[in-house]
Chain A
Amino acid sequence: MVQDKLLKIHNLHKSYGDLDIFKGLSLAMDRGDRLVIIGPSGGGKSTLLRIVMGLEDITGGDVYLDGKPYILRDGGKTKIDHKLQARVGMVFQHYTLFPHLDILRNLTLAPVKTRGIPRAEAKAMALLERFGLAAKARAYPSQLSGGQKQRVAIARALMLDPDLLLFDEVTSALDPELVAEVEAVMMELADHGMPMMIVTHDMHFARNIASRVVFAAGGVVVEDGPPEQVLDNPQVARTREFVERVFARKK
């Protein structure tokens, strides 16, 4: 029996007014994949993750989880299956913690209110322990460093046991010395086999964590392959151009 893909994006169209962001983008990932998406600024990387998370309307196409469509067009409207959407989690660039709740409550609010998950506190404490944040359980987000906040945000997403975790430039807002601690947490998740879709500008990190790298530009996937291919030896001229420019800027 052929197993269904964990995630399948089929012929995705998305536009803002006259601006076409996606023009028939298709992309699939397996359970073992850690997909890093690279591409020009304004190319739609954030929009893609937001669509997969169910935060955006689409103009055409559909998105499947385990072979079941959960985002699609129907009767001129975007339909989202919230049961399936709940199996996807997302971590944002700017943490988006709830400022009025302490760290523990940030983690337990959604599980308790929406799923009635028992022993959410014990689970939250175990996650905080695992990420070295147990001492901060009763602190408020404003009392944490950017790196700590982002680790809390990751823990919060993990509370709901997602089948797929999306990361949108989660280290871009951090001071350079705080980037490593967040990337270390993501590497640990990768080692545990967590399926992830990651947007990052950090090519070194991309190489370390990715099982596949996708270069998206002009509203479609231009190149898709292992990091050694897409980052070091791109097959498509357009990818080569982009990668060379990014690495040249780094030097």
Chain B
Amino acid sequence: MGYELQFFYVWQNLDKLGQGLLVSLELTGLANLIGLTAGFAIALMLRARMPVLRLPATALVELFRCTPVLIQVVWFFYCVPILFNLFVDPMVMGVLALGLNLAAFNAEGYRAAIQSVPREQYDACAALGLGGWSRVRHVVLPHALRAALPVLMTNGITIFQQSALVALVAIPDLMYEGKMLATETYRPIETYTVVAAIYFAISAPISLIVQRIEARFDRVQA
């Protein structure tokens, strides 16, 4: 192969990629804000006895879990404005699509974590007269949050990577800026390699931290 790698143009335009990265991080941060809070609310709805609460939550979770994220983003961007006559900033739509997707996955994580609180812990609470909000606040929640933390973090960085899909609807994120740069400089290999490296550099440490936490939980289980 006679191709000669030249990173010069990429280095020269690193600031553009930096701006794109900021947009990606903003998307990720806001999506996580929605995902962590709405996800918990949806998890509580999933556990509710009343069908009026449970069924919509189930439908929402399954819809987001059983369709490609790519279609979700496109749908929010092209269909929601027409269907609901709602024209807002593309960024808002991106955050909504990613945030609700994350909420659906986090809800499942929260739900499993709440379920994983051992029955014995409830027995111990009852024997100690610990009930109601005290029990939720001091026993169930700490237990469930710990159990859910690795899943929530993993989902959180997954959405960082999925956020690259919004480039398709012209939100100037890292992927979008990378695409522009690749076209401008005729250096797609170098550009996309650097873009991939940036995604990796942000995700890998968090992934490692998750593994550490999981290993620690395994040791502490007793």
> Footprint of B on A, CB under 8 Å?
50, 53-55, 82, 85-86, 88-90, 92, 94, 96-101, 109-110, 113-115, 140-142, 156-157, 160
Across the interface, B128 reaches (CB within 8 A) one of A99, A101, A114, A142, namely: A114
What residues of chain B lie closer than 8 Å to A50, measured between beta carbons? 123
- Chain B residue at minimal CB-CB distance from A140: B220
Q: Is the C-beta of B153 less than 8 angstroms from some C-beta in chain A?
A: no
Of B129, B138, B143, the most chain A CB neighbours within 10 A belong to: B129
A114–B134 contact, CB under 8 A?
Answer: yes
What residues of chain A lie closer than 8 Å to B124, measured between beta carbons? 92, 96-98
B123–A55 contact, CB under 8 A?
Answer: yes
A110–B129 contact, CB under 8 A?
Answer: yes
A99–B222 contact, CB under 8 A?
Answer: yes
B130–A109 contact, CB under 8 A?
Answer: yes
Across the interface, A114 reaches (CB within 8 A) one of B120, B129, B146, namely: B129
What residues of chain B lie closer than 8 Å to A86, measured between beta carbons? 129
A163–chain B nearest beta-carbon distance, Å: 14
- Give residues of chain B (89-135) contacting chain A, Cβ–Cβ below 8 Å: 120-121, 123-124, 126-131, 134
- Chain A residue at minimal CB-CB distance from B137: A113
- How many Å lie between the Cα of A160 and that of B130 in the bound state? 12
Q: Is the C-beta of B194 less than 8 angstroms from some C-beta in chain A?
A: no
A82–B129 contact, CB under 8 A?
Answer: yes
- How many Å lie between the Cα of A140 and that of B220 in the bound state? 9
Using A96-B120, A100-B143, A141-B222 as known contacts, say yes or no to A113 and B126 having CB atoms under 8 A apart: no
What residues of chain A lie closer than 8 Å to B131, measured between beta carbons? 114
Across the interface, A142 reaches (CB within 8 A) one of B127, B139, B142, B222, namely: B222
What residues of chain B lie closer than 8 Å to A101, measured between beta carbons? 138
B138–A96 contact, CB under 8 A?
Answer: no
- How many Å lie between the Cα of A96 and that of B124 in the bound state? 6
Across the interface, B120 reaches (CB within 8 A) one of A94, A109, A142, namely: A94
A110–B128 contact, CB under 8 A?
Answer: yes
- Chain A residue at minimal CB-CB distance from B222: A142
Q: Is the C-beta of B49 less than 8 angstroms from some C-beta in chain A?
A: no
What residues of chain A lie closer than 8 Å to B129, measured between beta carbons? 82, 85-86, 110, 114-115, 160
Of B123, B128, B131, the most chain A CB neighbours within 10 A belong to: B128
- Chain A residue at minimal CB-CB distance from B121: A96
Across the interface, A113 reaches (CB within 8 A) one of B123, B130, B222, namely: B130
What residues of chain A lie closer than 8 Å to B134, measured between beta carbons? 113-114
A55-B127, A100-B142 given; name 17 further pairs at CB < 8 Å. Answer: A55-B126, A89-B128, A92-B120, A96-B120, A96-B123, A98-B124, A99-B221, A99-B222, A100-B143, A100-B146, A101-B138, A109-B128, A109-B138, A110-B129, A141-B222, A142-B220, A157-B127
B137–chain A nearest beta-carbon distance, Å: 9
B216–chain A nearest beta-carbon distance, Å: 10
B121–A98 contact, CB under 8 A?
Answer: yes
B130–A89 contact, CB under 8 A?
Answer: no
- How many Å lie between the Cα of A53 and that of B221 in the bound state? 27
- Chain A residue at minimal CB-CB distance from B220: A142
B128–A53 contact, CB under 8 A?
Answer: no
Across the interface, B126 reaches (CB within 8 A) one of A54, A156, A157, namely: A54
Using A109-B138, A113-B138 as known contacts, say yes or no to A89 and B146 having CB atoms under 8 A apart: no
What residues of chain A lie closer than 8 Å to B146, measured between beta carbons? 100
- Chain A residue at minimal CB-CB distance from B142: A100
A89–B127 contact, CB under 8 A?
Answer: yes
- How many Å lie between the Cα of A115 and that of B143 in the bound state? 23
- Give residues of chain B (139-164) contacting chain A, Cβ–Cβ below 8 Å: 139, 142-143, 146
- How many Å lie between the Cα of A211 and that of B221 in the bound state? 38
What residues of chain B lie closer than 8 Å to A110, measured between beta carbons? 128-130
- Chain B residue at minimal CB-CB distance from A93: B120
What residues of chain A lie closer than 8 Å to B219, measured between beta carbons? 142
B143–A90 contact, CB under 8 A?
Answer: no
A206–chain B nearest beta-carbon distance, Å: 23
- Chain A residue at minimal CB-CB distance from B122: A55
- How many Å lie between the Cα of A250 and that of B221 in the bound state? 33
Across the interface, A160 reaches (CB within 8 A) one of B128, B138, B143, namely: B128
- Chain A residue at minimal CB-CB distance from B219: A142
What residues of chain B lie closer than 8 Å to A100, measured between beta carbons? 142-143, 146
